[in-house]
Each structure stands twice: as structure tokens, then as C-alpha cells.
Amino acid sequence: MTGTADQTANAPPTLRARRLGLHSQHQAIAVMRTDCHVCRAEGLSSRSQVLLSAGGRQVLAMLYQADGDLVAPGEAALSESAWERLGVAEGTPIKVSHAPSLDSLANVRRRIYGHRLDAAALQAVVEDVTAGRYTDVHLAAFLTASAALPLDEQETVDLTAAMVDVGDRLAWNVPVVVDKHCIGGLPGNRTTPIVVAIVAANGLVMPKTSSRAITSPAGTADTMETLAPVDLDLATIQRVVDQEGGCIAWGGAVHLSPADDIFVRVERELDVDTEGQLIASVLSKKIAAGSSHVVLDIPVGPTAKVRTEEAARRLGDRLVAVAAHFGLAATCIRTDGSQPVGRGIGPALEAHDILAVLQNRPDMPADLRNRAAVLAGAALEIGGAAEAGAGHALALATLADGRAWTKFQRICQAQGGMREPPRALHVRPLTAGRAGRIVQINNRKISQLAKLAGAPEAKAAGVTMDVMLGDEVASGQPLLRLHADTVGELAYAMEYASRNPDIIEIAT
């Protein structure tokens, strides 16, 4: 079919990029005027998926349209994620067109209708997810289909492999590379820096990359950053590990299993646990990190991710089986997930706990020390540095004789120099309204309290616990202390506490 009219230029017209300053997590957003000529030419409307192109880069984005002066004629205003991924400057000409059709959605639809997916089909899905081509609706459909008919072992293996393949991979020139991971966060459960110090002090290689907090009051990288630089490039990580056998670095410089971050966000919104996804999520990061042996901490408790011993055992068995497909030796340790670990919750407050354990101080939190020793013991055994059954004692000895503390200081120096974690300006106790026994501690609300006090942005902010489950308290006795840098943040946290009397439950 040919037109009889003179054709207009075949290249679609461009718009000028404008930075909107809008934060929308991973989601790329473009805002264009309702009367925009490109919208009309391309048949675009609000909530269309659009392809933004500039200087050889392409980004898929959700289009919103706007009236009034939010966007000027000839402009396309971009969210931070779109702006950064497209790599444009103010006024850069960008092309906007319909998003190309997404062939891998046919795989999602087949999965919805009960067909198993093979490695190639899962690879296609994961590639499109990583490229940002899936909307929330598409992501939720894939994850729901994988929960309605759970991923079988082969699918879990294939999904894990696909998630590894789309990201960076690290390689180490040693046969044994040890790693650890905790399934489902528990406030204050910051064992990683202690475990790395113990394991590296015993001659094993443990190059640990950790995340920053997303919705929690602290990630391992946030805590470690109060003690030493963690924003290391790949060459620095390599040098630190060559020199000291271990590191505790932020994973941001390397992109291990980037699809995982996208899946996790949707799973959180849906509040659906899909075992296959969880396994692929955890193991893809470890495999991509080049680990040969991994210790998995599975906290079990009424407000933890895993609620029963039976569920923890089943999950552990499947983790070990899938890991074996990749030559990764995994050990699962079920731990108590009924209350926060240690005293501090918040980057610097957790760092103070870590220092107390490493320095064998009399006031150290015994639960944190013991958890770290259990996990480090398992790592020493699986990595061949201790006989079966002898790992825990070796780990405790490595703490007691100061070798872990020495190793930790050397790692901090290698990462750029050790520093003293800050202290908050304002500390205020929350006290028991009556006498009795502590029968319940709500992990989720404790975390929220620490965040209101300013964590993790304010490094020194957070909560310190004065009580544990089973403790008897008198009326007026401190239950926890709030740490904040400003009186405003202190007030927010106090106000939340007054509205939530069930953060810590006391029975008479």
C-alpha cells in the first residue's frame, strides 16, 4: 500500500529532555503534554509504555500526560531513573515512540495457563525484566503464576541460571570462596562483619558484597560504612581480598543478579512468598559473586519470614539441592527469629555492637556474639578450615584471642581506613507503663521506630534495646532508647511509640 500524498519525514520528531527530579524507584517515567505532537503522531496516551531513545541508549518508560505548565511544549520530562539510564542532559533531543511488542510475555501467558517454562523461555523473561521492559502488571503476573503453580526444581535451576547470566560475575583464583546470607531480615542481626573477620582470620577467602537498606533501618553496607569505606570498585575489592582474604563491600559497584532487585520489590508489595523465587534470588547473587560455599541463616519466628521449623527445614533442603546444580555447597542454619539481635538497630548503633563483640568487651551483646560464632563455625567447617563439629569452638576462640579483631582492623585499613561510628546527639528512653514480663517484641514496629528516628540516612540514629523476651521489668524502667540527631526526629519517633503501645508487650 502506498500513499498518494507527499510523505512527511520518516524519522519521528524529537522532544527536549527535562529533568523532573521525580523519584520512582526502578520505574522510569516520562511526562509529556496532553497536546504533544509526538503523542498524537504515535497514538500515545497516559500509561502507555514508551521507548525513549537518545545518543544510542534506550529506556522503556511509563508515559503520563499533563496539562498546564508542568511540561513546556516540545519537552519530555523524565523521572530520575529514566534520566540516569538514558544519560541525557537538559535539552538533549530524545525520540519517543511506542514500546516494541514484548515477545517474552507469551512465555508468561503460557506459564499462567499451566505450562512449564524451559531455560530459554525463562532467559527471555529475565532479560526483558532486567531491561526494564516489564510493567508492574507484567511482573506481578509472572510472580503470581510462579506461586499458583510453584516453580519445580528444574525451573528454579533455570531461573537461577538466567538471573546469573543477565548480570555481572566475579571470579576468584582460589578453589574455596565462602559466603553467607540471611533469609529474611531481623532487626540488628548484623553478624556479617564478625563472620568475615573470623573466617578470614582462619585463612579462608570470603569476599562479601552487601546491600544498603531499602525498607529497613540499616543494611550491612550502611553499618559497615560507619567503620570503613564500602563504596569500592572491582579492582579495590580484588586487592583487599588478595591482601586480607576478606572484605565487606557495598554491592553497588557490581551488578550481581540485577533482576532480583526488581522481583523482590513486587513480591514485597504483593506480600507473597514464592519459594522458587526466593531460592533463585538468594542463590543467583551467590553464584554471580563467585562463591563455592555458602552458609544460609534462616531465622524462624512468629514475625520472621519463615514461621515454623518445618518450613525452614523444607526451604533449606531445596536451597541445598538447587545450589548443588551450580557446584555451590550450601549449609542452612535455623536460628531464633523471635526478637531483635544485639542491642543496636541503626547503622552506627549496630557497628558499636560489632565492635563490642570483636573487642571482647564485658558489655557485649552475647546473642550477637553467639549467632556470629555459629554461622562462622559453619563457614569454617564447610570451607575446610575446621573439622565437622569443631567450627563453633574455633570461631569463639578466634574471637576470644583477638585474631578476629585484628583481622577486622586490617580489612578496614585495606578498604580505606578504619573510623569510629558516630553517636547521636539526642537519646531518650521509652519506659514500661507497668511492671511485668516481656512477652512479645514486634520486629516490624521496632524497625519502623528506628527509621522514624532517622536511620539509615542519619547514621547515628536508631534504637537500642534495653530488654529481651522473658525479662521482668518494673514500671518506669527503660524498655528501649531512641537515638536521633534532631529533636524533630526524636519527636516523630516518640509520637509513633505513643500511638503504638504494642511495640513491646508486657504481661503481668
Interaction residues for a second copy, span 258-277 (CB under 8 A)? 266, 269-272
Is residue 295 within 8 Å of residue 333, measured between CB atoms?
A: yes
Helices (H), 299-402: 309-325, 347-358, 366-382, 391-400
Torsion angles phi and psi, residue 76, rounded to 5: -125, 120
With CA atoms as reference, report the closest residue to 30 among 40, 45, 11, 12: 45
Taking the complex as a whole, how short is the minimal distance between the CB of residue 109 and a second copy, in angstroms?
6
Stretch 206-235 residues interacting with a second copy (CB under 8 A): 215
Name the DSSP letter for residue 205.
B
Report the alpha-carbon distance of residue 96 to residue 76 in Å, rounded: 9
Report the alpha-carbon distance of residue 191 to residue 376 in Å, rounded: 9
Stretch 389-408 residues interacting with a second copy (CB under 8 A): none
Taking the complex as a whole, how short is the minimal distance between the CB of residue 367 and a second copy, in angstroms?
22
Taking the complex as a whole, how short is the minimal distance between the CB of residue 151 and a second copy, in angstroms?
13
What is the maximal distance between C-alpha atoms in the chain?
91
Q: Does 492 bind a second copy (CB under 8 A)?
A: yes
Nearer to a second copy, 21 or 55 (CB): 21
Q: Is 406 helix (H, G, I), strand (E, B) or coil?
A: helix
Q: Does 238 bind a second copy (CB under 8 A)?
A: no
Nearer to a second copy, 47 or 361 (CB): 47
Nearer to a second copy, 149 or 425 (CB): 149
Stretch 42-81 residues interacting with a second copy (CB under 8 A): 43, 45-47, 64-70, 79
* H or E stretch covering 302: none
Q: Is 496 helix (H, G, I), strand (E, B) or coil?
A: helix
Q: Does 428 bind a second copy (CB under 8 A)?
A: yes
Q: Does 135 bind a second copy (CB under 8 A)?
A: yes
Q: Does 308 bind a second copy (CB under 8 A)?
A: no
Q: Does 491 bind a second copy (CB under 8 A)?
A: yes
Q: Does 305 bind a second copy (CB under 8 A)?
A: no
Stretch that binds a second copy, among 122-130, 219-227, 247-255, 494-502 (CB under 8 A): 494-502
Stretch 143-172 residues interacting with a second copy (CB under 8 A): 143-145, 147-149
In the list 175, 499, 507, 508, the residue contacting a second copy (rule: CB under 8 A) is: 499
C-alpha cell at 79: 523521572
In the list 2, 103, 175, 327, the residue contacting a second copy (rule: CB under 8 A) is: 2
Nearer to a second copy, 143 or 241 (CB): 143
In the list 243, 308, 359, 431, the residue contacting a second copy (rule: CB under 8 A) is: 431
Nearer to a second copy, 352 or 451 (CB): 451
Stretch 20-39 residues interacting with a second copy (CB under 8 A): 20-25, 27, 29, 31, 34, 37
Is residue 353 within 8 Å of residue 343, measured between CB atoms?
A: yes
Q: Does 141 bind a second copy (CB under 8 A)?
A: yes
Taking the complex as a whole, how short is the minimal distance between the CB of residue 21 and a second copy, in angstroms?
4
Nearer to a second copy, 24 or 238 (CB): 24
For residue 7, the one-letter residue type is Q
How many residues at the interface with a second copy, by CB under 8 A?
A: 82
Stretch 443-472 residues interacting with a second copy (CB under 8 A): 448, 451-452
* H or E stretch covering 405: helix 403-415
Q: Does 387 bind a second copy (CB under 8 A)?
A: no
Q: Does 113 bind a second copy (CB under 8 A)?
A: yes
Nearer to a second copy, 173 or 498 (CB): 498
Is residue 295 within 8 Å of residue 179, measured between CB atoms?
A: yes
Q: Is 18 helix (H, G, I), strand (E, B) or coil?
A: strand
Taking the complex as a whole, how short is the minimal distance between the CB of residue 326 and a second copy, in angstroms?
28
Q: Does 4 bind a second copy (CB under 8 A)?
A: yes
Q: Which residues contact 411 (CB under 8 A, 6 or more apart)?
A: 196, 197, 200, 228, 240, 244, 246, 247, 248
Nearer to a second copy, 63 or 348 (CB): 63
Q: Does 109 bind a second copy (CB under 8 A)?
A: yes
With CA atoms as reference, report the closest residue to 119 among 87, 85, 151, 78: 151
* Site string (320-359) toward a second copy, x via CB under 8 A: ----------------------------------------
Report the alpha-carbon distance of residue 217 to residue 471 in Å, rounded: 25
Torsion angles phi and psi, residue 284, rounded to 5: -60, -40
Is residue 253 within 8 Å of residue 231, measured between CB atoms?
A: yes
C-alpha dihedral, 307 to 313 to 316 to 322, nearest 10°: -120
In the list 56, 114, 362, 389, the residue contacting a second copy (rule: CB under 8 A) is: 114
Q: Which residues contact 5 (CB under 8 A, 6 or more apart)?
A: none
273 as an active site residue: the answer is yes
Active-site option among 261, 273, 336, 471 = 273
Nearer to a second copy, 58 or 144 (CB): 144
Report the alpha-carbon distance of residue 165 to residue 129 in Å, rounded: 13
Report the alpha-carbon distance of residue 427 to residue 425 in Å, rounded: 7
Taking the complex as a whole, how short is the minimal distance between the CB of residue 80 and a second copy, in angstroms?
8
Nearer to a second copy, 269 or 309 (CB): 269
Report the alpha-carbon distance of residue 366 to residue 357 in Å, rounded: 8
Q: Does 115 bind a second copy (CB under 8 A)?
A: no
Report the alpha-carbon distance of residue 80 to residue 5 in Å, rounded: 41
Report the alpha-carbon distance of residue 360 to residue 363 in Å, rounded: 8
Q: Does 138 bind a second copy (CB under 8 A)?
A: yes
Active site residues: 273
